[in-house]
Structure formats: structure tokens, C-alpha cells
Amino acid sequence: MVLFGSYILAKAVKSTENNQLSLANIEKRIALDLTHLNLPDDFLKHSGSKEAVIDYLAKLNSQLKETPIFVYSIEGITEFPARADLIEKQLQTPQKVFTISFVINNNILNKNDIAVFILVCLFSLAISYLFFLSERTKLQVAKQLPEPEPNSKTKPILIVDLQNKTLAANCSPDKPVALANKPLCFYLALVEFCTENPDVVLNQNKDVPEELLTLANKYFYRLVELGHTVRKRPNFTNSLEKTLSEIRAALDDVWQDQPEVKDVYYPPKAHGEGSRSRLHHYGLKNITLENIEVIGK
């Protein structure tokens, strides 16, 4: 429709230009013929010949039938009924000023244009109908799809950044929590150890497994490589409860907005009298490597 409208507008502009050019040529033609026309002259008290003028108009208009212009009258002489859409021009001669009236048929649309317009309308209707069917199908498919579960959010992941020595939740990366070297290295070692040895019980009343200590030292040396510390290697077997408490405190801050997921990452606390020595297991039972992302590893 827009293209068709642009076409009609361009055609109207071109038609106006052609009509102006045709009018100028017709005026020249009439100016040359005026001396041969028997027109009335009030100054000379000459009545002229109305029939001769009308006959001239008929011959002239027959030559203009292929154009949208016809000459309506010369000096008011015409055989056509009165109308309001006349265009009047003044022809200046040495003896007198003559008034010529024209009519221009401004019907821009021809039969071919109307046929094209109808085809464009039908095409637009077809496109609109197809679009309607497409949208209706999308709505029907959407109605048949199951409703998303309320908890279908991004899976919580703990991000450990060795470059900055921080912990953060992937849902709140702009809220990192700093952690000291010893608890940071021990926690990463604990995660890796528990994912590889899910059946091993870690009891605070027993020695820390050598494999776990090796992993903790590995992460400490990585911190050294990153240039974060020049202090001596910490003893990961000393003050184990303090180390675990620092880890828990940092995780409390990280997951303060999602406490329900904290248990996956949280080293369990001892509960009940004597439980620390007999039953307590500080290992991470449910954690997997998919639950944690380590930057700078």
C-alpha cells in the first residue's frame, strides 16, 4: 500500500508538470490563431461570429482529446454548460487582452491503476490474514505449553575468584565476600576432595586425610603464583574448627538471599553433646563440580 501510494503521488506530480506544459503550448496555439478568429470587439463595435468561435473550439478540442485538457471558452463564448472548475488565462495582444478558459481533467487513476490498486488490496488482505493465522497458531501453541515452574530460575552456582580471593553467588556477582588464604584454600580442597571421594567420612576427631591436605597446599601455591601472599604455607591441620567457622561465615554472607541452597556448600556443624567426636562429618555430601566455578584455577 505504501508503494502504491508513492506511485500515485509521483504520478500526480508528473501529471501536473505535463498539464502546465500542455497549457503553455495551447496558449501559444490560440495566440497564433486569434487574428483569424471572428471575435467580438466592443471598441470597434463589432459583434463577431459566435458560431465561428464555437466551431474553432470544437476543432481545437478534437485535437486535444488525447490530453486531459480542453478549451472551455474564448472571451466567454462557449457551447458548454457553466461549471466552477475553470482555469482562466489572459492572452495579451497589442490590441486587446483576451480571456481563455480551460478545464483540466485531474482524474489521476486510470483503469490499469484501479486494477493494480485492487490487486494490492487483495495482496495486503492475504498477508494480513496469514499474519493473523500465524499469531493465532502461536497463541494456541503457547496455551498448550506447560507453565514454567516457579523455581525455574538460574541454577545457583558459587563463584570462587582466586584472583581476588572472594566468594560470590552467580545471581549476585556484584556482592563478593572476601576470605583469608587458609580457609579459602581449605574450602576449595574440601570441595574437590568430597566430589572425588563422596563416601569418605571426615571427622574432626580424626586426622585430616593426606589427599585433602595435598589439595589445600595445591591451592595455596596457586595463590603464591598469583602474587597474593609471600607468607609461609599455613598448617591446615591446626585450628580446623576455626577454619570451618570462617568458611561458614563467608557462605552465610554469600547466600543470605538464598538460604535454602546453602546446605549444598555448607560444611555441617556439630550438634549435640559428644557428637563432634563420634558422629560429626564436616564433608560436603551433596556438592558436585557443577555447583562451583573457580576463576584463576
Q: What is the pTM of this model?
A: 0.49
pLDDT score of 275:
44
In sequence order, which residues have a C-beta less than 8 Å from that of residue 264 and are 6 or more positions away? 284, 286, 287, 291
Amino acid code (one letter) for 12: A
Please list, in sequence order, all residues whose beta carbon lies within 8 angstroms of the beta carbon of residue 137, skipping any fewer than 6 positions away.
Answer: none
**Per-residue pLDDT tens over the stretch 113-136:** 677 778 878 888 888 888 888 888
The pLDDT, as a whole number, for residue 187 is 94
Nearest Cα residue to 184 out of 218, 231, 156, 210: 218
* pLDDT at 217 (0 to 100): 92
Contacts of 159 (CB under 8 A, 6+ apart): 167, 168, 169, 170, 173, 292, 293, 295
Rounded to a whole number, what is the distance in angstroms from the first to the last CA of the chain? Answer: 62
CA distances from 90 to 28, 31, 84 (A): 12, 10, 18
Segment 229-253 shows an average pLDDT of 87
pLDDT at residue 193 in the model: 94
What's the rounded Cα separation, in Å, for the pair 104 and 16? 10
Place of cell 503457547: 142
For residue 94, pLDDT beyond 80 = no
Average pLDDT score, the chain: 83
Q: How far, in Å, CA of 248 to CA of 284, rounded? A: 12
pLDDT of residue 60: 93
Only one residue has cell 500542455, namely 22
Q: Which of 46-50, 106-110, 227-231 has the lowest mean pLDDT?
A: 106-110
Q: Looking at per-residue confidence, does 209 or 17 come out higher?
A: 209
pLDDT for 196 equals: 92
Structure confidence at residue 149 as a pLDDT band (50, 70, 90): low
Q: Which residue has the higher pLDDT, 4 or 250?
A: 250
The region, left, alpha or beta by phi > 0 then psi within -120 to 50, assigned to residue 46 is beta
Torsional class of 37: left (φ above 0), alpha (ψ -120 to 50), beta (otherwise): beta
The mean per-residue pLDDT over the stretch 9-38 comes to 82
Bigger pLDDT: 12 vs 163: 163
Q: What would the mean pLDDT of 58-67 be, rounded to a whole number?
A: 90
User: What does each C-alpha distance from 193 to 232, 267, 270, 289 come to in angstroms?
Assistant: 23, 13, 20, 11
Return left, alpha or beta for 292; rule: phi > 0 is left, psi -120 to 50 is alpha, else beta: beta
Burial (CB < 10 A; 0-12, 13-18, 19+), residue 215, is buried
Give me the phi and psi of 81, to 5 degrees please.
-65, 160
Of 279 and 295, the one with more pLDDT:
295
Is pLDDT above 50 for 265?
yes
pLDDT score at 114:
72
Say whether pLDDT at 93 is over 70: yes
- Comparing 67-71, 142-146, 225-229, the range with the smallest average pLDDT is 142-146
Contacts of 167 (CB under 8 A, 6+ apart): 158, 159, 160, 161, 176, 177, 179, 250, 251, 254
Which of 282, 249, 237 has the alpha carbon at shortest distance from 180?
A: 249
Q: pLDDT band at 186, cuts 50/70/90?
A: very high
Report d(CA 58, CA 151) in Å as an integer.
Answer: 89
CA distance 83 to 72: 10
- Read off the amino acid at residue 135: E
Structural domain boundaries in the chain: 2-104, 158-295
To 5 degrees, how large is the angle CA 146–CA 148–CA 152? 145
